[in-house]
Amino acid sequence: MTDTEKYDRQLRLWGEEGQARLEKSHICLINGTATGTETLKNLVLPGIGGFTVVDGNKVSASDLGNNFFLDKSCLGLSRALKVCEFLRELNDRVKGSSCEEDPVHLINEKISFFKEFDLVIANRLPEAALTTLSQYLWEHNIPLVVVVSYGYIGYLRLVVPEHQIVESKPDTPLDDLRIYNPFKELEEMADQLDLKSLNSQQHGHVPYITLMVHLLKKWKVDSNGGKMPSTRDEKESFKKFFISNANSFQDEENFQEGVKGIWKVLQPYSVPSDIVAIMNDPKAANLSSTSDDYWVMVAALKKFHETHQVLPLQGTIPDITADTISYINLQKIYHEKASADLDEFTSIVNSLVSSVGKTLIPSEMIKKFCKNVRFLNLVRYRSLVDEFTPATARSAYMISELEQPDSNLVFYIVLRAVEKFNNIYNRYPGFNDEEVDADIPLLKSCVTSLLNDLSIPTTLVKDDYITEIARYGHCELHNIASLMGGVTSQEVIKLITHQYVPLDNTFIFNGINSTANPYKL
Amino acid sequence: METSYTDIEGRWSDIDKVIKRTGPFVAPDFQPDTNDSPSIKTALQNDFKILVIGAGGLGCELLKNLALSGFRNIDVIDMDTIDVSNLNRQFLFRRKDVGKSKAEVAAAFINQRVAGCKVTPYKCKIQDKDEDYYRQFKLIIAGLDSIEARRWINGLLVNLVVTDTDGNIDPLTIIPLIDGGTEGFKGQARVILPRISSCFECSLESFPPQTTYAICTIANTPRVPEHCIQWALIFGLPDAAIPKPFDPKVFDNDNPVHMTWLYETAKKRAEDHNINGVTYKLTQGVAKNIIPAIASTNAIIAAACCNEAFKICTDSSGYLDNYMMYNGQQSVYTYTFNYEVKEGCAVCGSNIVSYEVSPKTLLSTFLEDISKDSRFQFKKPSLRCNGRNLYMQGLLHQSTVPNLEKSLEDLQVGEGDEITITDPSLPVSITSIILLIYHDVESESEEETTTTSTNSFTPSVNNQEVPREKVWEKYAKRSRERTDHRTDQNQCRKLINQILKEYKAGSHVSIEEVRAKAIEAQTKKIQSYFDNEFQTNVSIKA
Ligand SMILES: [Zn+2]
């Protein structure tokens, strides 16, 4: 039994390369609560390299009511030690270690402890310690993930200075077919098409790409003075012309496929605006020997685009109606053009690399980048300090979100106020049964002062939400912990593998009615 | 039930906060527990019995979540055994457990880890249990990947609901069904209150049978590696001229020898047509219809399901109304909405659907069409009309085989007749009725007549016949939208007839097998209705 078999169902998503990145990563968890262990469970199972749990607590009775990675025998022992032991058992390939120190103490006295990790997950950290940690990790370019399960509510925040993505893996990627602006080889092949000479079987099996390129050229030369159709009327007229070339439109699937996507095809070629933004980023303009490979390749992409006004061709075509031979031929033409583009792109990369004095970028990496140029992505997160400082907080955005009926953002406000409450009273609102009623107005005044700091009208947070959060008394329900652990681990996997697109930057789950929203705070 | 186990003081202090305290969002019936009268906790621990169907990726999570929600009486049903590829997410299993019963290993693990919890495993099919068995549960949570099993349990639970002569529902007979499903980074969780909210059958269309490549493409114009793998499965396997190191009747896609043969046959086919990309991994993916699965998505969906279960049993909060979709691929998106009851639902609504068809349609084509239809998705249907058996499974099967090549007309099935259908995908007591509406196709050749019958149907409301004009309008629109190539379809039908002849000649491969193969062995060529719906909603929200 190999790991390939064991990991088969996930390798189909993130591949060997994503798996290798996971297996190299060492992740730190602050506090081995239910939310913490549920997150790690979903990371140990797919095989991260290692993890370290930092937790100064001893296992208490209430841990046995919500934490699956503890049992009766653990009562009174170090929680870091025991959850580490129980989690390690899930996957013998994963190394686990524990640190029994109080994380707040560690942050205040020995913050360099956190420098060794590839990512830190913080859970149940007081706001002051969290802020200190986030600044430290930000300076060291280490991703921080903050997760909270509070009664029926969940909160998640990702903090990374810059996250580069080559394989964003969009749900429905469209192939770059260049029908509007065919490359030479494609145009030459389409020129050779002689529809009249084909029998009906062949006629119905000419790939629509070839049909389109061929007929577009014919139409523009014969009927539009050599210009591509640009107005609505011209496009309609081309569409009619295209259909008129079918022997029987009802029966020819290739012609139908052509008409289906005709409006998209008749859009002039353009580079997506987010890719343009990445190419124009100052980091691509100012390369040095310490530049990331990503930015060197972006710079090369910019050069390629300046020369050709197009991006390197991806070279894949969708499965479309065609006979085998025409399809394979067409595939070959795209593939060869993509190879030629890749060769040229690679030589630009190599010359940039040598001009700035960097080590060579592996050709496999260049190839992957080149194949994904239309799906590049870059996320620059806001720091927690920017979010927490009233002068830089996104108050206007928050107001517009809070004005929506039943906005889940109210929970963000009340949970922030809970931290203020904890800062003042050194306990959580409603923790003790006898104090719930008395804590509600105290929590309300924390909400009011937070809203005033942020210049948000206090009427936007209704009392019911404050009452509800006080009712929770800092409790951690296993279901919410498990759900948040699921979302958190998924985002950690995206950050570590640099595949798919992670949340930017806050997620709130409302377990009262099972709704959720992402916010950019 | 007995209360033999006493908990350590303070163990449930987190749950106590929400069951001992009231709040602005609790359900109307909520009565907080007091120390003297802990009725919610007693119910959780002693009175309520919960059933988990499936002990796989979702099932392991469900059992853990229920145990740590304070439930103590849990049954789990799963007939499967543990495979090594389960270990990346089914965290109650270890390498040493490979080959053992999922239900048994999962139950033993939970019972050992969570003191006081008693999970009882059943290694069997859900169909092996009777109504009385299902009646004992407070609610049922399904973590299944099989549409068929979900339809079955849904149908059964809808049928258990008792209504009096005035049509009032007896609420005590309602057993909520909470259903979860995942695929890669996507999933959905929903609450079904039988006879009150929409049921699983109402939403059958959102789980379309995976669309098969036209059989003629596979046979004549293969283009992508998947076509070659399908060819090896559908044509290579029954072909006696192709040597194979095993008996094709017992093809097993878990057997490496069989899979290697399949891979090599597909590769050969691909080489003959200059197609690249047939790999062992892809062959496995296509042959087993492998769906990617990861721990995180299962955790999210199972937790959403159990959160609803806990709230239904404690009244301590609001509720999911009634469907949540999840997609974690690009950012983290959810969409929560009310999935509405479908009129004409075979299970919870009127079970009559009008179906437009040509009288010249062969029974075999008709069978093929309704099985493929996303609204029915029959597995092995039996058809009766006017008190006669048209096509039967089981003992009467052989006697009805000759009918397959007769047209509806020849079988004396008339306009407005109702064809009653029973199928293993529906519980025994539920039938689906198809009301036939004939359309005339004077100008077209006989061949074309048969092909145009595919998929044109209109649901009727409460047995009222839909006006012919309306049906025709709809039909005409649909046929305009159709992208299928008729020539291709004619080729397809010839192929199907060929397979039929083989069938009659006593060849070992049955038409059901061929059809099942074609439907099962799939790739992701077509985006499902659901993905589109989801994308649309997400883009509106964003
Ligand atoms: Zn229904």
Three-point CA angle B91, B95, B97, nearest 5°: 80
Q: Looking at residue B426, which CATH number applies to its domain? A: 3.10.290.20
Count CA atoms within 13 Å of residue B525 on its CB side. 21
Domain, as residue range, for B437: 352-444
Q: Confirm whether B510 is domain-assigned.
A: yes
Q: Which of B89, B274, B329 is nearest residue A169 as measured by Cβ atoms?
A: B329
Domain co-membership, A26 together with A138: yes
- Closest C-alpha to B413, from B350, B360, B488, B339: B360
Going from the Cα of B193 to the center of ligand 1, the distance in angstroms, rounded, reads 10
Quote the minimal CA–CA distance from A164 to chain B in Å.
14
Q: How far apart are CA B25 and CA B31, in angstroms?
A: 13
A24 with A49: CB under 8 angstroms? yes
Which ipTM did the prediction report? 0.96
CB atoms within 10 A of CB A495: 23
Q: B292 to chain A: nearest residue by CA?
A: A9
- Which residue shows structure tokens 């010839």? B494
Q: Looking at residue A24, which CATH number applies to its domain? A: 3.40.50.720
CB atoms within 10 A of CB B443: 7
Q: Which of A260, A322, A430 is nearest residue B221 as measured by Cβ atoms?
A: A322
Q: What are phi and psi of B359, to 5 degrees?
A: -60, -15
Q: What are phi and psi of A287, to 5 degrees?
A: -80, 150
Domain co-membership, A340 together with A320: yes
What DSSP letter does each residue of A99-152 carry, written as one string? E-S-HHHHHHH-GGGGGG-SEEEEES--HHHHHHHHHHHHHTT--EEEEEEEBT
All residues of chain A having their beta carbon less than 8 Å from the beta carbon of residue B65 are: 478-479, 482
Domain co-membership, B169 together with B223: no
CB atoms within 10 A of CB B286: 25
Q: Looking at residue B269, which CATH number applies to its domain? A: 1.10.10.520
Q: Confirm whether A507 is domain-assigned.
A: yes
Residues 343-402 of chain A with CB under 8 A from chain B are none
All residues of chain B having their beta carbon less than 8 Å from the beta carbon of residue A328 are: 223, 273-275
Domain co-membership, B371 together with B414: yes
The per-residue pLDDT for B539 is 42
Domain co-membership, B219 together with B265: yes
Q: What are phi and psi of B54, to 5 degrees?
A: 100, 125
Q: Confirm whether A139 is domain-assigned.
A: yes
Residue A376 tokens, joined = 């590049």
Q: Which of B98, B303, B321 is nearest residue A482 as measured by Cβ atoms?
A: B303
Q: Confirm whether B256 is domain-assigned.
A: yes
Going from the Cα of A62 to the center of ligand 1, the distance in angstroms, rounded, reads 42
Q: B12 to chain A: nearest residue by CA?
A: A65
Question: What predicted TM-score, i.e. pTM, was given to this entire model?
Answer: 0.84
Q: B526 to chain A: nearest residue by CA?
A: A172
| pLDDT surpasses 60 at A350 | yes
Strand order from edge to edge, sheet including B388-391: B388-391, B382-385, B418-422, B432-438, B352-357, B457-459
Domain co-membership, B48 together with B68: yes
Optimal mutation site among A514, A515, A517, A519, interface B, most CBs of chain B within 10 A: A514
Q: What are phi and psi of A130, to 5 degrees?
A: -60, -45
A378-425 pLDDT tens trace? 999 999 999 999 999 999 999 999 999 899 999 999 999 999 999 999
Q: B184 to chain A: nearest residue by CA?
A: A13
Q: Confirm whether B473 is domain-assigned.
A: no
Final residue before a domain boundary, out of A242, A265, A288: A265
Residues 172-231 of chain A with CB under 8 A from chain B are 172, 200-201, 204-205
Domain co-membership, B135 together with B47: yes
Domain co-membership, A368 together with A441: no
Domain co-membership, A278 together with A214: no
A176-201 pLDDT tens trace? 999 999 999 999 999 999 999 999 99
Q: What is the CA radius of gyration of chain A?
A: 29
Residues 41-80 of chain A with CB under 8 A from chain B are 41-42, 45-47, 60-62, 64-68, 71-72, 75
The per-residue pLDDT for B462 is 29
**Binary contact (B485, A516; C-beta < 8 A):** no
Quote the minimal CA–CA distance from A354 to chain B in Å.
35
Going from the Cα of B343 to the center of ligand 1, the distance in angstroms, rounded, reads 8
Domain co-membership, A48 together with A127: yes
3-state helix, strand, coil in chain A (%, to 5): 55, 10, 35
Q: What is the CA radius of gyration of chain B?
A: 25
Q: B87 to chain A: nearest residue by CA?
A: A6
Q: Confirm whether B520 is domain-assigned.
A: yes
Three-point CA angle B381, B384, B386, nearest 5°: 165
Domain co-membership, B64 together with B178: yes
What DSSP letter does each residue of A457-480 carry, written as one string? -GGGS-HHHHHHHHHHTT-B-HHH
H or E segment to which residue B2 belongs = none
Q: What are phi and psi of B78, to 5 degrees?
A: -160, 130
Q: Confirm whether B123 is domain-assigned.
A: yes
**Binary contact (A324, B223; C-beta < 8 A):** yes
pLDDT, mean of residues A348-366: 96
Q: Confirm whether A168 is domain-assigned.
A: no
Q: Confirm whether A304 is domain-assigned.
A: yes
Q: Which of B64, B68, B307 is nearest residue A511 as measured by Cβ atoms?
A: B307
Domain co-membership, B228 together with B127: no
**Binary contact (A42, B308; C-beta < 8 A):** no
**Binary contact (B324, A514; C-beta < 8 A):** yes
Q: Confirm whether B226 is domain-assigned.
A: yes
**Binary contact (A515, B113; C-beta < 8 A):** no
- Which residue shows structure tokens 């929970």? A411
Going from the Cα of B420 to the center of ligand 1, the distance in angstroms, rounded, reads 18
Q: A158 to chain B: nearest residue by CA?
A: B331
Domain co-membership, A289 together with A257: no
**Binary contact (A472, B18; C-beta < 8 A):** yes
- Closest C-alpha to B177, from B57, B327, B322, B338: B322
**Binary contact (A501, B535; C-beta < 8 A):** no
**Binary contact (A515, B334; C-beta < 8 A):** yes
Q: Confirm whether B185 is domain-assigned.
A: yes
Helix (H, G, I), strand (E, B) or coil at B325: strand
Final residue before a domain boundary, out of A206, A239, A265: A265
- Alpha-carbon dihedral sign for residues A6, A7, A10, A15: negative
Domain, as residue range, for A395: 384-472
Optimal mutation site among A85, A255, A512, A520, interface B, most CBs of chain B within 10 A: A512
**Binary contact (B185, A490; C-beta < 8 A):** yes
Residue B80's identity, in one-letter code, is D
Domain co-membership, A345 together with A489: no
The list of chain B residues with pLDDT below 50 reads 1-2, 441-496, 498-500, 504, 506-507, 511, 516-542
* Chain B contact present for A84, CB below 8 A: no
Task: Confirm whether B306 is a catalytic residue.
Answer: no
Domain co-membership, B156 together with B44: yes
Which range (A86-90, A244-248, B362-366) has the least confidence? Answer: B362-366
Q: Which residues contact B513 (CB under 8 A, 6 or more apart)?
A: none
Quote the minimal CA–CA distance from B389 to chain A in Å.
37
Going from the Cα of B342 to the center of ligand 1, the distance in angstroms, rounded, reads 6
Q: Confirm whether A167 is domain-assigned.
A: no
The DSSP letter of residue A185 is: H
Q: Confirm whether A179 is domain-assigned.
A: no
Q: Confirm whether A94 is domain-assigned.
A: yes
**Binary contact (B295, A46; C-beta < 8 A):** yes
Beta-carbon contacts below 8 Å between A and B = 263
Domain co-membership, A416 together with A329: no
The helix/strand count (H/E) of chain B reads as: 18, 14
Domain co-membership, B241 together with B280: yes
The percent of residues above 90 in pLDDT, for chain A, comes to 94
Q: A69 to chain B: nearest residue by CA?
A: B113
**Binary contact (B113, A68; C-beta < 8 A):** yes
User: What's the structural domain count of chain A?
Assistant: 4
Domain co-membership, A151 together with A17: yes
Q: Confirm whether A173 is domain-assigned.
A: no
All residues of chain A having their beta carbon less than 8 Å from the beta carbon of residue B115 are: 64, 71-72
Going from the Cα of B177 to the center of ligand 1, the distance in angstroms, rounded, reads 13
Domain co-membership, A188 together with A335: no
Quote the minimal CA–CA distance from B411 to chain A in Å.
31
Quote the minimal CA–CA distance from A227 to chain B in Å.
31
Domain co-membership, B362 together with B399: yes
Residue among B199, B216, B313, B492 flagged as catalytic: B216
Count CA atoms within 13 Å of residue B104 on its CB side. 11
Three-point CA angle A183, A188, A191, nearest 5°: 125
Domain co-membership, A24 together with A103: yes
* Chain B contact present for A154, CB below 8 A: no
Q: Confirm whether B253 is domain-assigned.
A: yes
Q: Which of B20, B23, B334 is nearest residue A516 as measured by Cβ atoms?
A: B334
Final residue before a domain boundary, out of A230, A265, A300: A265
Count CA atoms within 13 Å of residue A65 on its CB side. 19
Domain co-membership, B222 together with B371: no
User: What's the structural domain count of chain B?
Assistant: 4
Q: How far apart are CA A234 and CA A246, in angstroms?
A: 19
* Chain B contact present for A500, CB below 8 A: yes
Going from the Cα of B351 to the center of ligand 1, the distance in angstroms, rounded, reads 9
Q: Looking at residue B114, which CATH number applies to its domain? A: 3.40.50.720
Q: Which of A65, A486, A516 is nearest residue B297 as measured by Cβ atoms?
A: A486
Looking at every residue in chain A, the average pLDDT score rounds to: 96
Domain co-membership, A65 together with A81: yes
**Binary contact (B68, A501; C-beta < 8 A):** no
The per-residue pLDDT for B513 is 54
The per-residue pLDDT for A339 is 96
The per-residue pLDDT for B99 is 95
| A133-144 burial code (b ≥16 CB/10 A, e <16) | bbbbbbeeebbb
Domain co-membership, B260 together with B400: no
* Chain B contact present for A506, CB below 8 A: no
Q: Which residues contact B509 (CB under 8 A, 6 or more apart)?
A: B237, B238, B499, B502, B503
